[in-house]
Chain A
Amino acid sequence: MTSVPLQPEQSLPTDWRDLFALTKPRVMSLVVFTGLCGLLAAPGTVHPVLGFAAVLCIALGAGAAGALNQWYEADLDAKMKRTASRPLPAGRMTRQTALHFGVGLAVFSVILMDLAANHLAAAILAASILFYVLVYTVWLKRRTAQNIVIGGAAGAFPPLIGWAAATGDISTLSVLLFAIIFLWTPPHFWALSLFVRTDYANAGVPMLPVVAGIESTRRHVLLYTLPMIAAAIAPWVLGLTGLVYGAASIALNAIFLVLAFGVFANKATESREMGPEKRLFAFSILYLFGLFAALVVDRWVFA
């Protein structure tokens, strides 16, 4: 039997590593961490297996949302240096494969969450995937400079899901955890968008620095930092957490505020001179890890 040469672009099976890359593993790590913290900070105890399954579902749901985001944004990703090597714009995968993978993973994660935890956690997980894909990716991202402000809600769901998986309901503290990430998203992404704004401008994405300018974005970073700080300190002020969280929160927020002032005061217009923006972006990730870690330590210390 003679073998027929194959056409790689049309018939080669997608490499599993590319399917994994489609889930945005680095973004997933923060999502998993905040979801885990929501679960661990919730009152009561969770069976370790059910807790593990719930966190796994959060990770799979986030991966599904990431895959569907890349399926929809393949044309945008191809225009940006930062994303041009992703599986779809690089031509290593068909869009149909990405769509099937994303939808399948989303459905699987929601069903598994329902089986392992409860209806509420599954419903919030489904809502968060739909919000990220339909509201942020499809509706807002290409239309308004406020895309990050509203779309930030999508990334804020994990602690709420973790909490709901552990308790079966939603409480004031879980809503505050949602609010912290929701209000943290604008300064975090605007700091990034300042030093990669050329990429966004070339791709036609109406990020704030592209639409309103660099100076206005820097002012927005500082302004949006203030409600974020209020939300981050609120759990301690309201007596929902103890001194460990209170002290960590004050310290982390003080550093965030200083760095946000640094961004506000910076007059540079070239990306290579945007040290304060890069520092704020890098610290903002550490900030969220630190804040949520402090919450868990605090809840365990004072439990």
Chain B
Amino acid sequence: MPQPEDEIFRKRQRERAKVTAILLGLFVVLMFAITIAKMTVNQ
């Protein structure tokens, strides 16, 4: 039977994993956009 503390632990882990995944995704998009922008500016 899972303890209430375990539930809180898993919930926080899941939330942090989601936030980290979203931030990493945004970072990839940003780096891609910066690269394209730099190429445009240098032309």
Contact = CB atoms under 8 A, between A and B. Distances in A.
Interface of A: 3, 5-8, 11-16, 47-50, 53, 56, 115-116
B30 interface: yes
A16 B16 contact: yes
Given A13-B9, A13-B16, A50 B38 contact: yes
A69 to B, nearest CB: 22
Contact of B40 (A7, A16, A47): A47
Q: Size range of the interface on B?
A: 20 to 34
Nearest to B8: A12
A69 B2 CA distance: 38
Contacts of A8: 5, 8
Interface string B1-43: 1110110110011011001000000000010011011101100
B34 A3 contact: no
Q: Is the interface of B mostly helix, strand, loop or mixed?
A: helix
Nearest to B19: A16
B12 A15 contact: yes
A5 B3 contact: yes
B12 A49 contact: no
10 contacts: A3-B1, A5-B3, A6-B5, A12-B12, A13-B9, A13-B12, A16-B19, A47-B40, A49-B36, A50-B37
B6 A3 contact: yes
A15 B8 CA distance: 10
A15 B11 CA distance: 10
Contact of B34 (A13, A14, A50): A50
Given A5-B3, A6-B9, A47-B41, 10 more contacts: A5-B6, A6-B6, A11-B9, A12-B5, A15-B15, A16-B19, A50-B37, A53-B30, A56-B30, A116-B34
Nearest to A7: B5
Given A16-B19, A49-B33, A115-B34, A3 B8 contact: no
Given A50-B37, A53-B34, A115-B34, A5 B12 contact: no
A13 B8 CA distance: 9
Nearest to B6: A3
Contacts of A49: 33-34, 36-37
A48 B37 CA distance: 8
A152 to B, nearest CB: 31
Q: Which of A11, A50, A56 has the most C-beta atoms of chain B within 10 angstroms of its own C-beta?
A: A50
Per CB-CB distance, the 6 closest pairs between chain A and chain B, nearest first, are: A49-B37, A6-B5, A13-B12, A47-B37, A16-B19, A49-B33
Q: Which of B5, B13, B40 has the most C-beta atoms of chain A within 10 angstroms of its own C-beta?
A: B5
Contacts of A50: 34, 37-38, 41
Nearest to B18: A16
A59 to B, nearest CB: 13
A13 B6 contact: no
Contacts of A6: 3, 5-6, 9
Contacts of A53: 30, 33-34
A8 to B, nearest CB: 6
Contacts of B12: 12-15
B29 to A, nearest CB: 10
Contacts of B41: 47, 50
